[in-house]
Chains A and B, each alone.
With several copies, the nearest count.
Chain A
Amino acid sequence: MIKVLLFAHLQEKIGKDQLELEIIQSTVAELKNKLKNQFQLYELNSVMTAINEEYAMDEDIVKSGDTVAFIPPVSGG
């Protein structure tokens, strides 16, 4: 199981601040695509991704037990 934390407008879009996905292993890019298709989360095109609090790239591997955070840059000030 992979835990996904959603921040800012990603939350509002799907009505939850976290998800638990029954996935054994995936790349960050695959995970994003899955969520884009399932929830129309186009915002995932421009987010920062962390795996277990470490900056991650699209080709990095996410495994069961990991926590992935999708952090959309917010611009207000």
Chain B
Amino acid sequence: MSERYSRQVLFQPIGTNGQQRICNKHVLIVGCGALGSSNAENLVRAGVGKLTLVDRDYVELSNLQRQQLYTEKDVCDQVPKANAAKKRLQEINSEVEIMPHVLDATPISLKPLLADIDLVIDATDNFETRFMLNDLMQKHRIPWIFGSCVGSTGMSYTVLPNETPCLQCLLDTIPVSGATCDSVGIISPAVQMVVAHQTTEALKLLIDDMEALRTKLVTFDLWHNHYHTMNVNRAKKTDCPTCGNNPTYPNLNEEASSKTEVLCGRNTVQIRIPQKMNLEELASRLQNIAPIKHNDFLLSIEYKSYRLVFFYDGRTLIHGTNSIEKAKSIYNQLAG
């Protein structure tokens, strides 16, 4: 065993056998923002065999405050995050095989990447994608580790298909008012704290130390000095559409998932989610971000050079762009 991993091999629950297992495993990280880049660095330093990275964005200046792996040069060069991550990760550890993919995570785009994946790390920034991952991993029987953070808070939870409650058991519907880093900000320690939990559970899973798994959902607030764990065993539902007795995987359904289309000639993109929106909640959260207008039919907000109009039926118009990518990105920043 390489001197490189000597301190990890000395850690008694891992040892030489555990290190050998880690070196033979293949992990998929969905998202290469703050959580993704830090999870990737940990796993590469730990010596995971193969790492597949998926992200649709490129590096921007406002990322540098919390997104490990990236530098000012990556911002200048507008390098896609997955590619910038690979470059730095190989300088750290040339023994790991790293496969970057610059793409939107969808059931269709992810399916070909799942063949020999042992574990998936959630490093996405919105619940629509997480619910899709929840279905996809349940269907393909791959464990995945949920993580999210905003402000000084974060949460993490490990989903084992057929064993633990899944994300759908814990949250009946996709939350539309989940606070985002672009609405309430974030400090880097909140990222690190989530990643510390995700990487630890990942190492346990990679060496098959199932007894050590946390099983509880962790929530913390570093600024207000709270750390809370929640036993979720009783949340498991036998009629859950994802992990219940007759799964329908509703978030893999093309019809049910978001429909996004460019509205021709209007410099506008329309996004439709499959639930009704609670605009009161959304308004109460967005009012500090930018000027809003709210009436009985819609909520509109001026944000950067865009105007967004949210409808109760689940539709949102993003005026000021013809780019679906850009529109989704703005939408997730505000309503992610």
If the complex has contacts A8-B179, A9-B184, are A77 and B36 also in contact, measured as CB distance less than 8 A? yes
Whether A53 contacts B278 by the Cβ 8 Å rule is: no
Q: Which of A7, A50, A53, A77 contacts B35 (CB 8 A)?
A: A77
Which chain B positions have C-beta within 8 A of A61? none
Asked if B31 and A74 make an inter-chain contact with CB atoms under 8 angstroms apart, the answer reads no
Chain B residues with a Cβ closer than 8 Å to the other chain, count: 53
Closest A residue to B278 by CB, please name it. Answer: A45
User: Interface size on A (CB < 8 Å)?
Assistant: 26
Q: Measured between C-beta atoms, what is the minimum distance from A3 to chain B in Å? A: 12
27 contacts between A and B (CB under 8 A): A7-B153, A7-B219, A7-B226, A9-B179, A11-B224, A45-B278, A46-B171, A46-B175, A46-B177, A48-B217, A53-B228, A54-B230, A55-B217, A55-B233, A55-B235, A71-B228, A72-B178, A72-B179, A73-B175, A73-B178, A74-B151, A74-B178, A75-B127, A75-B148, A75-B179, A77-B35, A77-B181
- Asked whether, in the complex, the Cβ of A77 is within 8 Å of the Cβ of B231, the reply is no
* Interfacial chain B residues near A5, Cβ < 8 Å: 226, 228
Annotate A16-56 by CB proximity to B: 1 below 8 A, 0 otherwise: 01000000000000000000000010110110101001110
Q: Is B298 an interface residue (CB 8 A)?
A: no
Chain B residue with the shortest CB-CB distance to A56: B234
| B229 interfacial contact with A, CB 8 Å | yes
Complex CA distance for A77 and B35, rounded to whole angstroms: 5
Interface residues in A59-77 by Cβ distance below 8 A to B read: 69, 71-77
Q: Which residue of A lies closest to B234 (CB)?
A: A55
Query: How many angstroms from the CA of A9 to the CA of B285 in the assembled complex?
Result: 8
- Determine, out of B72-80, B117-125, B262-270, B304-312, the stretch whose residues face the partner at the interface: B117-125
Could you say which residues of chain B place their CB within 8 Å of the CB of A13? 284
Other A-B pairs beyond A8-B151, A75-B180, 11, CB < 8 Å: A7-B221, A9-B285, A43-B177, A46-B176, A53-B216, A54-B231, A71-B219, A74-B151, A75-B127, A76-B149, A76-B181
B residues within 8 A CB of A75?
125-127, 148, 150, 175, 178-180, 336
A8 to B170, CA, bound (A): 18
Asked if A43 and B284 make an inter-chain contact with CB atoms under 8 angstroms apart, the answer reads: yes
Q: Is B100 an interface residue (CB 8 A)?
A: no
In the bound complex, do residue B12 and residue A12 qualify as a contact, i.e. CB atoms below 8 Å apart? yes
**Could you tell me if B224 and A17 are in contact, using CB atoms closer than 8 angstroms?**
yes
CA gap between A42 and B277 in the complex, in Å: 13
Q: Which residues of A contact B176 (CB under 8 A)?
A: 46
B147 proximal to A (CB < 8 A): yes
Cβ-Cβ contact count across A and B, 8 Å cutoff: 127
The answer to whether B254 has its CB under 8 Å from any CB of chain A is no
Q: Mark B32-70, 1 if CB is under 8 A from A, else 0.
A: 011110000000000000000000000000000000000
**Contact, CB under 8 Å: B122 / A55:** no
- Assess whether A77 is in contact with B124, with CB atoms less than 8 Å apart: yes
Residues in B140-176 with C-beta less than 8 Å from chain A: 147-151, 153-155, 170-171, 173, 175-176
- In the complex the two chains form, what is the Cα distance from A72 to B217 in whole Å? 13
Q: B170: which A residues are within 8 A, CB to CB?
A: 48, 55
Q: CA–CA, A48 to B153, complex, Å?
A: 15
From residue 253 to 293 of chain B, which have CB atoms closer than 8 A to chain A?
Answer: 278, 280-281, 284-285
Min Cβ gap A39→B in Å is 11
Asked whether, in the complex, the Cβ of A76 is within 8 Å of the Cβ of B336, the reply is yes
User: Measured between alpha carbons, how far is A42 from B176 in the docked complex, in Å?
Assistant: 12
Q: Does B186 lie at the interface of the complex (its beta carbon under 8 Å from any beta carbon of A)?
A: yes
* B321 CB, nearest partner CB in chain A, Å: 22
